[in-house]
Chains A and B, each alone.
Chain A
Amino acid sequence: MSITLDQVTKRYQGIPVVNDVSVEIGNGEFFVLLGPSGSGKSTLLRAIAGLTGVNHGRIALHGRDVTHVSARERGVGLVFQNYALFRHMTVADNIEFALRVRRVKRADRAQRRKELLRLVALEGMDERLPAQLSGGQQQRVAVARALAHKPEVLLLDEPFGALDAKIREELRRTIRQVQRELGITTVLVTHDQEEAFALADRIGVMNLGRLLEMGRPDELYTRPATRFVATFLGAANLLLARQSKSGIRFGSQQVISHARDGAPVGREHEVVAVLRPEEVEIAPTREALDANYLAAGTVEEVVFTGALERMRIRLTNGATEAQLAVANGDAGAFIEVTRTQPEQRAFQVQLGQHVAVGVRRIHVLPTPLSSFTACAASESEVDVLSHQPLLVELATRMKTRVASRVEPALAEGKGECSSREDSFSGAAVIASSPGALKSIECLLERGAEEVFVLPPNAPSPQRVLIHWADEGARAATLAVSASLLRHLSAEAIYLDVMPHGTPDKQRPYGMRALLDARSEAHAVHGLEMRTELRFGNIASELGRQLGESTDQLLILGVSEISGLAQRFGELLSGTPRWPLLVVYREPEVAA
């Protein structure tokens, strides 16, 4: 491995800007770190270069641990967005800088410089000053300079940011060519997905300091695992759908699934479906569609962009509309469509025209947290609950909606809970109250799979404690935790407790279980978390840790509803002062 990052964390004023990032980059690989500004990608790059220290974790280059090695001695080449050329030196002096520092002989320096200038197609520019060159040429010089000392790793920090579109493409080609010719391991940081697609062998998408997903460009585009990646890489319509054994349903409309996810489909549940705009087909009537019918709609907006036509269609079937969510969380359903020239010629549309909408391909995200449903005894309470800052923040970041639902059974002191099975959209949300435990149990009985207990005005958590009561709940708890943590800039800690008086021989098993869980979380969900093993009583240990500060969140996994009161009764008996997410999955019956 050329670059190995192991749980790298960097905090500024206590807030993690790079949060538990682990990645291995192979020899000669072109790796692109993609993310919006402020996602921590540049900080991570600077950490690899040695210009920024890390608070936690390890960095190795070619198997050599360089975590505490200075930038001077790491031997990497770094290219900056603003070129960072030495303006008082000629091109030749700039390129030879690293060689001069290393006291390389004059003739050897000149020869290396010639080679590099040929490589970046700037022969004969030796004696120019940076100010006499165009932006593109300056960046080529910067690349040549960064390669002079034959670094093992080339790092590029938004190298095309300051250039216009034409030059950008030209330089992109040069960099790709140079990289192939030298076979040098390269990491490029960018916020431009097109750039990432054009250059990368592999892309790692970052948001809120976390490395969310990694993979080949085409894999990430067609099968993203998270909402963020689905919408950041290209355009995507995110829709809430219900998935069951018989396929995918949008409202009452059954659309046969083309999704290829291996997740076992139990009873019908809500999922997030990704529809790429180019996978949507429109036709004058339902019968004229080649693809599966989704809904009827009217054309609201048409934009001509050259090769493609982009339009927005408002879906008009009443039944469908209620089940759809768009990016801003409104239930009003718009769908983005792009069409090629031949498609446009085959069926020309006018504004306001009624059309039938079909889908060629649907991708279902593996995330178990699809949306939220605020539940309370009265409508005014539901309203207050659904406007809680933490819930609004989460829903916005998850690009999902908060539905509301009046549950008379939640009224205080009533305690009546009909055990009628019901379908919940996403996670049920309730306000923290003295009867929280009863309410949780009631909602779980009624068919909710996750219950989120929210104290009033809870701050955005900085620490998430994760614990599951038994092995049956492990997989689901990890999946839900991963899904939630992708939208928070918090640290994740998996806590397990062994009873007091555990014999020493047993102790390694506890540690082993923790580490296994950690690797599973990393392998399956890309979630990095820390692990802690304590001794004593689980409820009191959790209570003690949660008592330390209020900006924490607890995720509890159970596979038996009664287990909640038995094991955590002490913890949940009062009014929880921190947000709590209970994950419940019935034990699977072996087929």
Chain B
Amino acid sequence: MNATATAMKPLRQPSVLPGFGLTFGFTTFFLSAVVLLPLAALVMMASRLHWGEFLEIIFAPRAMGSYRLSFGASLLAATINLVFGFIIAWTLVRYEFPGKKIIDALIDMPFALPTAVSGIALTTVFAQNGWIGQYLEPFGIKVAYTWIGVTVALTLIGMPFMVRTVQPALEEVQRDLEDAAETLGAGRFHIFRRIILPTVLPALLTGFTLAFARGVGEYGSVIFISGNLPYKTEITPLLIVIKLEEFDYKGAAALGSVMLLISFIMLLAINLLQAWGRKRQTGAGR
């Protein structure tokens, strides 16, 4: 009954499983070797540049265009997922229908599919003569080789993150709460807005964060559908790869550091927001 009471834990707790020292040591080692050291190398590499050079690279118009696309499309895709991922999760949790198991399994497909494959598939479908693209063409809507295509690809890639985070949270929403609200006279919209949404909000934010982070880092699927026009449909990861191919390691590292910094700030902000929300719900006293 008291699911939220376990939010704050002391650093070290007596546990049924021994070996805190060993596991904690492994955790630090693993994180250092796989995450921190490469990132440090990245920053080190970038720091070999002079300030002037560094600023010139990162504020170059082509780079600025790529940031706008990378972060803009990722944010937009994560927002689309926020709405539709929630609806999918809701459908899967609240309703019983034939084929539910199959749909549930399909959700995980983008996890397993090589991203290049999804990129090529999406391009085929959304190209001017593709299955969907041909119907959008008369309306002047071009998906493939525009920023819209990038957003579509990122939406697909981020969707399972959203659904899989929100699903368990929705399953935990007690039906009693809705029943209680109903007997107190609340209508459906009111129940959704005041009872269900606040309860799953932390999960929604987590899902949003994950989908966004995945979108910023995505490379494989986007480069097929974006068309990679400099200043227009070129994402930052691609720009980095281009720089690498030109053996401009420092330039690539500089762009990498910028991505790292922006991502870090955005993720931190979302996490803080979440922690604040959780605190409000659990109460400081426990």
Bound together: yes
Describe B's contact surface by its main secondary structure.
Answer: helix
- B contact residues around A369 at 8 Å (CB): none
- CB-contact partner of B4 in A46, A83, A131, A149, under 8 A: A131
A-B contact pairs, 28 of them (CB 8 A): A50-B183, A51-B182, A51-B183, A71-B179, A72-B182, A74-B183, A76-B183, A77-B183, A82-B1, A82-B174, A82-B176, A84-B179, A86-B177, A86-B180, A86-B198, A87-B4, A88-B199, A97-B181, A97-B184, A101-B184, A101-B185, A101-B186, A101-B187, A129-B283, A131-B2, A131-B4, A131-B281, A162-B1
Known: A84-B176, A101-B190. A71 touches B283 (CB 8 A): no
- A contact residues around B1 at 8 Å (CB): 82-83, 162
- CB-contact partner of A131 in B179, B199, B283, under 8 A: B283
- B contact residues around A72 at 8 Å (CB): 182-183, 185-187
Interface assignment of A464: CB less than 8 Å from any CB of chain B: no
Complex Cα distance A142/B181, Å?
Answer: 11
Complex Cα distance A225/B176, Å?
Answer: 36
Interface assignment of B94: CB less than 8 Å from any CB of chain A: no
User: Are A98 and B4 neighbours in the complex by a CB distance under 8 Å?
Assistant: no
Known: A129-B282, A131-B286, A149-B185. A78 touches B199 (CB 8 A): no
B interface residues, tally (CB under 8 Å): 27
Interface assignment of B195: CB less than 8 Å from any CB of chain A: yes
Known: A50-B183, A72-B185, A128-B283. A88 touches B198 (CB 8 A): yes
Complex Cα distance A149/B186, Å?
Answer: 12
User: Are A78 and B183 neighbours in the complex by a CB distance under 8 Å?
Assistant: yes
Nearest B residue to A83 via CB reads B1
Complex Cα distance A98/B176, Å?
Answer: 16
Complex Cα distance A86/B194, Å?
Answer: 9
Known: A80-B180, A131-B286. 14 other contacts (CB 8 A): A46-B179, A50-B183, A51-B179, A51-B182, A72-B182, A72-B183, A76-B183, A78-B179, A88-B281, A128-B283, A132-B283, A148-B184, A149-B185, A162-B1
Complex Cα distance A84/B174, Å?
Answer: 8
Complex Cα distance A128/B179, Å?
Answer: 23
Known: A86-B195, A88-B199. A49 touches B281 (CB 8 A): no
User: Are B182 and A71 neighbours in the complex by a CB distance under 8 Å?
Assistant: yes
User: Are B281 and A87 neighbours in the complex by a CB distance under 8 Å?
Assistant: yes
Give the interface size bracket for A toward B: 20 to 34
Report which B residues bind A (CB closer than 8 A): 1-2, 4-5, 174, 176-177, 179-187, 190, 194-195, 198-199, 280-283, 285-286
Min CB gap B172→A, angstroms: 11
Interface assignment of A145: CB less than 8 Å from any CB of chain B: yes
Nearest B residue to A87 via CB reads B281
User: Are A129 and B281 neighbours in the complex by a CB distance under 8 Å?
Assistant: yes
Min CB gap B170→A, angstroms: 15
- A contact residues around B198 at 8 Å (CB): 86, 88
Nearest B residue to A80 via CB reads B176
Min CB gap B161→A, angstroms: 24
Interface assignment of A102: CB less than 8 Å from any CB of chain B: yes
- B contact residues around A128 at 8 Å (CB): 283
Min CB gap A46→B, angstroms: 8
Complex Cα distance A162/B177, Å?
Answer: 17
User: Are B187 and A78 neighbours in the complex by a CB distance under 8 Å?
Assistant: no
Min CB gap B52→A, angstroms: 51
Complex Cα distance A127/B247, Å?
Answer: 62
User: Are A145 and B283 neighbours in the complex by a CB distance under 8 Å?
Assistant: no
Complex Cα distance A18/B195, Å?
Answer: 30
User: Are B180 and A102 neighbours in the complex by a CB distance under 8 Å?
Assistant: no
Complex Cα distance A535/B9, Å?
Answer: 76
Identify the interface centre among B1, B5, B187: most chain A CB within 10 Å of its CB: B1
- A contact residues around B187 at 8 Å (CB): 72, 101
